[in-house]
Amino acid sequence: MGAAWRNVKDGEEFDQVLEMVRTINKLDMEVCCTLGMITENQAHRLAEAGLYAYNHNLDSSEEYYKEVISTRGFEDRLQTIGNVRKTNITVCSGGIIGMGEKIEDRAGMLVALSTLNPQPESTPINALVAVEGTPMENEKPVEIWDMIRMVATTRIVMPETQVRLSAGRTQMSLEGQAMCFFAGANSIFAGDKLLTTPNPDVNKDMKMFEILGLSTQKPFTKKTQPQTVEATDSKFEALGEKPKWSRPKHKIQRNEMAKEKAKTFK
C-alpha cells in the first residue's frame, strides 16, 4: 500500500492506514507499505497493526542522489530504515537505474544497501520508465543487459535478500526477464500498475511463470506472520510528532527546465 506523502503525519489519515493494515493482515496476506519517512513511534504503530514489510528505497548512490532528488536528504532515507529496524517489520529497499547515473553510482547504491546491518530482506531493482512531461522524459530505455548485470550483482552482494524485478518489465521480453531470473531475481511486483507506471498483466505473468517453471512462494515463508494488536490495546499512541526532516534547498537543472517547459503548455 502506498501513499503520496513526503512523510507520515499522525492523524486521521494515518489511523486509516493502520486499520487497513490490520484488516489485510487478518486475511493472512503479507502487508507492505510505502508511506515516506517515518519516526520510530510511527514504525512501532505499524508493527502493532501487523505490517510485514516497509518499503523505502535509497533510489541511487549518495553521491548521485542530489542530482535527482531535492525534497529530502539521503540521510533521511537511512534514518527511516533505521527506525523500521527498531521493530519486527522487514525492510524493502532498492533503487532505480536509467536516471542518467554512472556505473559507479549503481555500484555505490548497492554498497549502501549491502552494508546495512542487517541487509534488507528484499531489494527492488527498477528500470526507469521515462514519462512524457517529467524531467527524465528523454532518458534512454535501460538495456536488458544492464538490468541483468544489476540483478546479478545485487544477488552476489546480498545473497539472502529477495531481489525483486520491478518497474520497467513492460519493456522487457520474456527472454530478457528469464535471464534476470537466472541472474538471481526471485520476485516480481504483480498488478496493473506500479504507482503511476504500467505493469504486465497478471495473467501474462502467470503464463511466464508456467513457461519458465517458476512457482509462487506462500505468504510468511521467510518470516512468521505478525500478530495484530487492536487500536484499543495499542501500547504506542499518536504523539503528534513534528520531526525536522531535511529539505535540501539546491535546485536540479533538468527539473527547473521541465518546470519552464510545462509553463509553455499552460
pLDDT tens for 138-182 read: 899 999 999 999 999 999 999 999 999 999 899 999 999 999 999
Cα(108)–Cα(35) distance, integer angstroms: 25
Task: Report the greatest alpha carbon distance in the chain.
Answer: 55
**At 219, is the secondary structure helix, strand, or coil?**
coil
Q: What is the pLDDT of residue 203?
A: 92
Cell 553510482 identifies what position?
105
Is the N-terminal amide bond of 118 cis, ω within 30° of 0? yes
Which segment of 36-40, 170-174, 260-264 scores lowest on mean pLDDT? 260-264
Q: Which amino acid is at 166?
A: S
CB-count exposure of residue 247 (10 Å: 0-12, 13-18, 19+)? exposed
Residue 266: pLDDT band with limits 50, 70, 90: low
Which segment of 81-85, 136-140, 192-196, 218-222 scores lowest on mean pLDDT? 192-196
Q: Where are the beta strands (DSSP E) in the chain?
A: 32-33, 53-55, 90-92, 95-97, 122-127, 162-165, 187-188, 193-194, 197-198
- Structural domains in the chain, sorted by start: 12-264 (3.20.20.70)
- Is the pLDDT at 262 greater than 80, yes or no? no
